[in-house]
Structure 1
Amino acid sequence: MIPSLLSLLAAAVLAGVDQLIKHWATAVLEPVGAMQVWPGVVELRYYLNDGMAFSMLAGQQTLLIAVTTVMLAAVAVYLVWKRPPLAERIAWTMVLGGGIGNLIDRVLAGQVVDYINLLFIDFAVFNFADICVTCGIALLFVDILLVETRRRKTETPQTAGDTPAQEGGAHDADA
């Protein structure tokens, strides 16, 4: 139960950090619009997004809030009841924390504050919560690949044709 509670606490901390950064972005960036961090590479730009990633479903706040709430509740229940291994737990905790951070914005303001703008590629403006969700999903994929690779290495061959030849000669039916 302790790992589950720690995961929920960590998710709350991530959501809290997200909200603090968004509060700062609103106070500092909204009046000026943008602030160069690394010219030609990244700037901090105040942007309000009423959709989800890449402004998909813009203006559909009720749907976004409902779907997000159900998904985040499912993640929280999974973390508490399933008690997944560490890497998976960290990944889902990141997804939960980032999701809660953006959900708070949607519920309170009807839109999400974004502020990180990559200038060297044509990409959406995003925020800390988005980074948490994206890194959590990436970690889940890596974990699944590693677990599957380990599983395949430890699997015993199922058919006689899959067994390696024994030392001292080949298994040839014609010999």
Structure 2
Amino acid sequence: MAYVILNLVCVAALVGIDQAIKLWAIQYLAPVEAITVIPHVVELRFVLNQGMAFSLLSGKQLFLILATSAALLLVAYLLFFRSRGKLLQQIAFILVLAGGIGNLIDRVLNGEVVDYINPLFIDFAVFNFADILVCVGVALWVLVILLEEVEDKPSKEQ
């Protein structure tokens, strides 16, 4: 039971941080549109995204809500029933779940996601904390899969 509670607390804390940052962006960043953080490198820019990454599927809110919900149910199942004793995998699923929930909240309540991190050194989409959680979580998940493959291969000496 402590395992489930710890996971829920971690997910809730990350979702709370995401939503707090987005609330700040709506209240303080939206009126000024952009704040330079590091000149020519990164700025905070208020953007409302009706799609997903790179504005893909823009305007397809019902599909995005349903697809995201289904994916998050799968990740929650993997977190609570398949990652016990596998810390790196557990962290990966917590990050993906929290980021997905953070953006799903925006999509359900507002029909669009608040983005605010704009790297200036490349022509790239504006993104947010939840997007970072999902990307880092997926990268960790891939690492876990690769490490499991390495461990499962029998050594050539045998």
Which category describes the TM-score, using the shorter chain as reference length?
over 0.9
1:106-160 CA-to-partner distances (Å, cap 9, x unmatched) read 00000000000000011100000000000000111122222222332xx155xxx
Q: SS of the counterpart of 1:32? A: coil
Task: Normalising by structure 2, report the TM-score.
Answer: 0.94
What are the ranges of 5 or more consecutive residues in structure 1 without an aligned counterpart? 164-175
Matched, 1:78 2:78: yes
For the residues of structure 2 that align with 1:61 and 1:39, how far apart are their CA atoms?
Answer: 35
The aligned residue for residue 123 of structure 1 is 124
2:58 pairs with 1:36 = no
Q: Which moved more, 1:37-46 or 1:79-88?
A: 79-88
* Equivalent AA in structure 2 for residue 53 of structure 1: A
Other-structure match for 1:170 = none
Name the amino acid aligned to 1:27: Q
Mapped to 2, the partners of 1:156 and 1:15 lie a distance apart of 42
Distance 1:9 1:112 in 2: 23
The one-letter code matched in structure 2 to 1:149 is V
TM-score calculated relative to the size of structure 1? 0.85
- CA distance in structure 1 between the aligned counterparts of 2:35 and 2:97, rounded to whole angstroms: 29
| Secondary structure at the counterpart of residue 120 of structure 1 | coil
Worse-matched range after superposition: 11-20 or 73-82: 73-82
Q: Is the 8 A contact 1:83 1:89 kept in 2?
A: yes
Matched-pair contact (CA < 8 Å) for 2:83–2:89 = no
The size of the alignment, in residue pairs, is 157
Query: Equivalent residue of 1:68, what SS?
Result: helix
Query: Partner residue of 1:142?
Result: 143
Could you say what secondary structure the match of 2:59 adopts? coil
Helix, strand or coil at the partner of 2:106: helix
How far the C-alpha of 1:68 sits from its partner, in A, is 0.6
Task: For residue 47 of structure 1, report the CA deviation from its aligned partner.
Answer: 0.1
Please give the alpha-carbon distance, in whole angstroms, between the structure 2 residues aligned to 1:156 and 1:50. Answer: 50
CA RMSD for the aligned pairs? 1.4
Does the Cα contact within 8 Å between 1:3 and 1:83 map onto a contact in 2? no
Mean CA deviation greater in 51-60 or 3-12: 3-12
User: Which structure has the larger Rg?
Assistant: 1
- Whole-Å separation in 1 of the counterparts to 2:142 and 2:49: 27
**Please, which runs of 5 or more residues in structure 2 have no aligned partner?**
none
The 3 A distance-change label for structure 1 pair 141 and 83 is closer
Identical-residue share of aligned pairs (%)? 54
